[in-house]
Structure 1
Amino acid sequence: MRRRAVVGAGAVLALAAVAVSSTEETATAGEEAGTRPMPDFLGRGLWQVFTRLDRRTRLDVHDVSGRDRRVLWPPRWQVCTQYPAAGTGLDRRTTVMIGVVRKGETCPPRVRTARR
């Protein structure tokens, strides 16, 4: 009786592995088609940008504090602005622009333009 339960559990695990691998293939195909959404990085560390985006994504990181500092050590910076907005579809042609300040500093107020 026990042996049958173990074999049954093994079969369930094998089916689960097949389901996970087919889901990964579908996700990979979707990413290749350019349908992966832009994550929300606002208020998070810059390191998360590097770890969550695809390595092939073009990335432009700049200091938005007005001091024009170089961003050399990503764990010391936090994200204030991002383009495109969270949830927007990313493709290979999209350049992601991230505005950062050093951790512990406040993000500058956003410049608002009046719509006419």
Structure 2
Amino acid sequence: MKVSVRPGLRRAGVVLGGAAAATLLTVTTAAAAGPPMPELRGRGLMHVFSTLDYRTRVEVRDVGGSHRNVLWPLSWKVCTQSPAPGAKLDGETVTVGVVKNGERCPRK
């Protein structure tokens, strides 16, 4: 059995494939840019973990001066954050400075 393909159809398929690939590349690039960083200062530490994507790496630091380990996120509030609110999250680590609930955030 012999199958013949007309040259015009073959070119149309290549053009369509190229357009589909360009569309796929655009969608992938837009998804990789990530959402903007939310404002986290003044919120509870648990809010950070429930707001950010689960794949986002979060580094937590006690900025109260005692260098304590954070064992129970519900007992801590956010004083500082990096990156700044509104910045695009591109897979980078989010760093938050925290103090225990009831303590004041240190002055800069």
Q: What TM-score results when the alignment is normalised by the length of structure 1? A: 0.66
Please give the residue correspondences for 1:1-116 in structure 2 after superposition, counting only pairs within 5 Å.
32-92=31-91, 94-110=92-108
**Rounded Cα–Cα distance in structure 2 between residues aligned with 1:29 and 1:52:** 22
* Unaligned ranges ≥5, structure 2: 1-26
Q: CA deviation at 1:30?
A: 7.7
Q: Secondary structure at the match of 1:33?
A: helix
After superposition, the CA RMSD in angstroms is: 1.7
Q: CA deviation at 1:106?
A: 0.1
Q: CA deviation at 1:32?
A: 2.8
* Unaligned ranges ≥5, structure 1: 1-27, 111-116
**Rounded Cα–Cα distance in structure 2 between residues aligned with 1:74 and 1:95:** 18
Which residue type is aligned with residue 50 of structure 2? T
Q: Radius of gyration: which is bigger? A: 2
**Rounded Cα–Cα distance in structure 1 between residues aligned with 2:29 and 2:58:** 21
C-alpha spacing 1:109/1:31, structure 2 compared with 1 (3 Å): farther
Which residue in the other structure is 2:6 paired with? none
Q: Secondary structure at the match of 1:36?
A: coil
**Rounded Cα–Cα distance in structure 2 between residues aligned with 1:30 and 1:42:** 29
C-alpha spacing 1:35/1:63, structure 2 compared with 1 (3 Å): same
Q: What TM-score results when the alignment is normalised by the length of structure 2? A: 0.71
C-alpha deviations, 1:66-97, integer Å up to 9, x for none?
Answer: 101000100110000000000000012x1100
Which residue in the other structure is 1:4 paired with? none
Number of equivalent positions: 82
Which residue in the other structure is 1:18 paired with? none
Q: CA deviation at 1:33?
A: 1.9
